[in-house]
Structure 1
Amino acid sequence: MNGAAQANPWRPVGPCSTAACVTGPAVAAGPLRRAARLSAALLVILAGIPVSLAACRTPARLRAAITRAWARLLLRALGIRVVVAPGTPGAEGLVVANHISWLDPLVLAAMVPSRPLAKREIAGWPVVGRLVAGSGALFIDRERLYALPATVAAVAGALRAGDTVVAFPEGTTWCGRGMGRFRPAVFQAAIDAGAAVVPAALWYHEGAATSTRACYVGDDSLLASLLRVAATRGLAVEVTLLDPIRPAAADRAALAVLAEARIRTHVLDHTHGTGALGAPSLPRSLARASRS
């Protein structure tokens, strides 16, 4: 990682870059394996277009199940193994996770029937926008700050309806060796809906070592990241859903700090205690809860 993140509360910029953070694969995939992965991924993506159009007209639970199956197929096509940590509980409510890659929403969708909270720009992307919309995504427009209350209300409404919503409160991606601060706005939706907040820790690795191959940082392009993933053998992502946090009387800032601290502590265990994650100090009222 290089330098400190630029200070912008609405559009944060992480300090990671491909030059400083991305290393070569522990074991590289050969040309035939790469071609096979990319071909299979393209077929899954193209097949997803008519499926997403049909899914828009189905009940929420069926749509989530279809999205889950499609996400699993795409990850498998790319050679990514999803590992669910032992003892991981189920997820119902607002799932919040550390953000490393464009693959993160797919990973969580493959594990948890859910609706992602995505930035508005994605809706305009060719093919990808159609697929994301078909998954039942809720969109946030970071250029229109006055629209934020409406987005929070939409997330709260989805939670009240029984949907699980996935969000990445950092607002940007890091390489996997570090984390940013969680922005508190989306946590207000959990408070308004009386829904649990479920922290989810994502860890990409090759063998026992943290991998930055899947990250999407700096001036990275989606194509460059995709090619890098396809060229990596043995890439896996471990998903750990931590114990749910009940909003109770906590405010959104306190919930953000607590959820972030739980994820940060968990991910730090995988980075061998290097201190790269820069764990924040917790308010005294939350310190005991974070260790429970």
Structure 2
Amino acid sequence: MHSKNELNKSSINISKINHRARHNTSRKQDLTKRYSVNFIEDQLFFSKKKRISSPFHANQESNNRIRPNIMEVCYEDKALWKALKEVEAACCFGKPVNCYFFLSYYKFKKRKERAEPDSFRAIYNKFIKDDARFLLNLPYAITLTAETVYSKIENMDEWESDDDLHEAIQALDAVYREVSKIMIQFWPLLEQYIKNQENLTDKVIPTLLAIVEHYEKKSPILCKDIKDIIAQRTDHRELVFNTFKKILLLIIGDLMRLSEAHGKKDNSYLVEATSSLMKIRSERNESDEDENSSEFKINRL
């Protein structure tokens, strides 16, 4: 267990992230120390010692303020970048295509004059052409310049002039600006996703793990059912599109039905654990009565 002071010291301050985004510094926060629910594939939860905070709220203060580029901010931190990819994947048919494009674009821009025509063609074929594997959902007016450049350099091994390279860079810059506009709407979803992970880690997962440990040898069938509930309710789409209150309510309902299905024999621990989760829900309702009025109303892409 950690004291509140320890938790506060290890938290990432929102203003610091905004400062990092505005000034584009290279300082990175260490958020790699997480623990996993080891019986669930690819389900990671951020530990109590290392927290992630989204700069979303700070960037809502004024409609006139420009929000920092979400991909540039998240890319500086491994955990934030992973979270952003999971959020986009939940919204976009399982593929974070905009994040994938950012990685290729970033690599191309980093090479500057050392970038080769083949690098541009690879990006075009992967993200922009009609049958691209990770097709970006962009207006034709945005991709037209890239298509023109591609036709011009299709058979080039090297740039014939600096102007050709400059045109290629401008074409990808235009695509990136449009992708960045699309990604702005992911701020609130990323915020909700991170909050859900943090709340589950702090308030719910320890109880669920205790139930699993209690029944692991005593009732393997019941234990498996509990693991299935955790896996279902901590799925990426659940964390992106539901509030913590709703996720908690669903978990409680699942556990109550599970308790009834297995009868009263040896399920007293499950009943007690479910009651403790109901208490968390009750406390949440008392401290956050108007949450419904501020829930994110984001359309799925």
Relative contact order (C-alpha < 8 Å, sep 6+): which is higher?
Answer: 1
Q: Return the TM-score normalized by structure 1.
A: 0.26
Q: Which has the larger radius of gyration?
A: 2
The structure whose residues are more often helix, as a share, is 2
Q: Return the TM-score normalized by structure 2.
A: 0.25
